[in-house]
A and B are shown apart, each in its own frame.
Chain A
Amino acid sequence: MRNLLDFLLRIHFLILFVIIEVFSLILLVNNNNFQQASLVNFSRQISGRYYARTANLKQYFSLAEQNRKLAEENTRLMSILESKYKIESSSVEIISDTIHNQQYTYVPAQIINNSVNNRHNYLTLNRGYSHGIKPEMAVISQDGVVGIIKGVSKNYSTVISMLNLDYKISAKLKKNQYYGSLSWDGLNYRSVILNEIPLHADIQLGDTIVTSGFSSIYPEGLMIGTISDFEEKSGSFYKIKVLLSVDFKRLYHVYVVENLLREEKLDLEENLVEL
């Protein structure tokens, strides 16, 4: 006991230092938001890694159960697919279009985040570069054009929706091939504006608007919508209101389209400029 006291007395300086220093650090962490946040962040990183490891380990114990559930889920989904969307049975479908000598691949995807009420609307898809998605690929649904891929991560990608003030696509009248540029005016999520259709073009309410294919992003002739209203703008162009065939509020299943010959076309066009 006496030895212990002697010992404590000898190192009282160190003990006191540790006590006061720890006290100061406790003060620091409790009273300064930044340091507190960093510390919490740090410990969360460590605990997160730990939980990920244990979860990884734990799931082995329930593998049989998980497999059974997945198999059930698979058969259920298969039965739905068979009856409803036969085309989706393989995940990547290559369609050869021999007339235009163009090839498009389709990757099915689901929308996991969507907005229609901003000026610049974006969608998020559950497919990323590990599924072959690249920026500037087209996104379409069964009903028509949806948007274009902007950013891609491993498993997710963001899509610039047609309902985005910065986004323009080239579109044409299906019946007489007059083309113009299509953009959103930010007012109604059901309709977009088609400009630059000359006044001498014959247009009627209900005419179909399709993609022109000039951008080599979208396949040609893809449905966009129908004319719901038009007026003469100053100058020699119509301002046409197009009712979108895609209801962005009900969108869930979409396809990401890649134009396999796009590079070739762009290369050729670039060379043309250089000549």
Chain B
Amino acid sequence: MIKQIPRYILSFFLLVLLQVLILNNIQLGGFINPYVYILFILILPFNTPKWLLLILGFLLGFSIDLFTNTLGMHSSASVFIAFLRPFVLKIISPRDGYESETSPTVSFYGISWFIQYSTILVFAHHLILFYIEVFRFSDFFITLLRIILSSVLSLLIIFISQYFYRNKLSR
């Protein structure tokens, strides 16, 4: 556990930089906008204390906000999914439960479980984020379409990144 802390810190910075420098510039038709940085919250190990989860979620969202000049927008969305994470994990837990030393990634629990898990959280995150961004319900369905399309793209990038992780571990 202690050994892994530098790795998580590194991945925090890598994900923030990836999001700010590259993914924020990908705006397909001003419509689809992937947010992959929440992968950090997804892959935190199971034995992370719950309060730490929330604080890390806030720090993560806050650092994205600092770069995009939208203080509070990403923070509230990522704190929300950090809050949601334990419940989602409980709902979709495999029959024999989780081992506390592992983390919720493809390499431990397989791709089909990970798809369920990440789809719920990514969609929840995008839902909160995009509705906070437009801050009204008048264009409800257009925003919903943006949310769905962006979630699909974010999930795609997250799945691909999981295979990089697996390679690193097996090495």
Which chain A residues have a beta carbon within 8 Å of chain B's beta carbons?
Answer: 12-13, 16-17, 20-21, 23-32, 34-35, 38
Q: CB distance B75 to A24 under 8 Å?
A: yes
| A13/B70 contact (C-beta < 8 A), A25-B76, A28-B132 known | no
State A255–B48 Cα separation when bound (angstroms): 79
State A87–B19 Cα separation when bound (angstroms): 76
Q: CB distance A27 to B72 under 8 Å?
A: yes
* Interchain pairs with CB closer than 8 A, number: 60
State A113–B70 Cα separation when bound (angstroms): 42
State A23–B71 Cα separation when bound (angstroms): 11
Q: CB distance A26 to B79 under 8 Å?
A: no
Selecting from B54-62, B96-104, B113-121, B155-163, the interface stretch reads B54-62
A–B pairs, 12, beta carbons within 8 Å: A13-B50, A16-B50, A16-B51, A24-B79, A25-B76, A26-B72, A27-B71, A28-B71, A28-B76, A31-B70, A31-B71, A32-B71
State A20–B81 Cα separation when bound (angstroms): 12
State A24–B129 Cα separation when bound (angstroms): 12
- Measured between beta carbons, the chain B residues less than 8 angstroms from A20 are 54-55, 57-58, 75, 79
- Measured between beta carbons, the chain A residues less than 8 angstroms from B82 are 17
- Measured between beta carbons, the chain A residues less than 8 angstroms from B50 are 12-13, 16
Q: CB distance B61 to A38 under 8 Å?
A: no
| A24/B58 contact (C-beta < 8 A), A32-B70, A32-B73, A35-B132 known | yes
Interface residue count for B (Cβ, 8 Å)? Answer: 22
Q: CB distance A32 to B72 under 8 Å?
A: yes
Shortest distance between the CB of B66 and any CB in chain A (Å): 11
- Measured between beta carbons, the chain A residues less than 8 angstroms from B79 are 17, 20-21, 24
Which chain B residues have a beta carbon within 8 Å of chain A's beta carbons?
Answer: 50-51, 54-55, 57-58, 61, 65, 70-73, 75-76, 79-80, 82-83, 86, 132, 135-136
State A29–B76 Cα separation when bound (angstroms): 11
- Measured between beta carbons, the chain A residues less than 8 angstroms from B58 are 20, 23-24
- Measured between beta carbons, the chain B residues less than 8 angstroms from A35 are 132, 135
Shortest Cβ distance from A39 into B: residue: B135
State A29–B54 Cα separation when bound (angstroms): 21
State A151–B117 Cα separation when bound (angstroms): 57
State A237–B58 Cα separation when bound (angstroms): 79
Shortest Cβ distance from A28 into B: residue: B72
- Measured between beta carbons, the chain B residues less than 8 angstroms from A30 are 71-72
State A25–B75 Cα separation when bound (angstroms): 8
Shortest distance between the CB of B140 and any CB in chain A (Å): 15
State A23–B76 Cα separation when bound (angstroms): 8
Q: CB distance B51 to A13 under 8 Å?
A: yes
- Measured between beta carbons, the chain A residues less than 8 angstroms from B72 are 24-32
- Measured between beta carbons, the chain B residues less than 8 angstroms from A38 are 135-136
Shortest distance between the CB of B99 and any CB in chain A (Å): 22
State A26–B71 Cα separation when bound (angstroms): 9
Shortest Cβ distance from B51 into A: residue: A16
Find B54's partner among A16, A27, A28 (CB 8 Å cutoff): A16
Shortest Cβ distance from A12 into B: residue: B51
- Measured between beta carbons, the chain A residues less than 8 angstroms from B51 are 12-13, 16
- Measured between beta carbons, the chain B residues less than 8 angstroms from A13 are 50-51, 54, 83, 86
State A26–B58 Cα separation when bound (angstroms): 13
Shortest distance between the CB of A70 and any CB in chain B (Å): 42
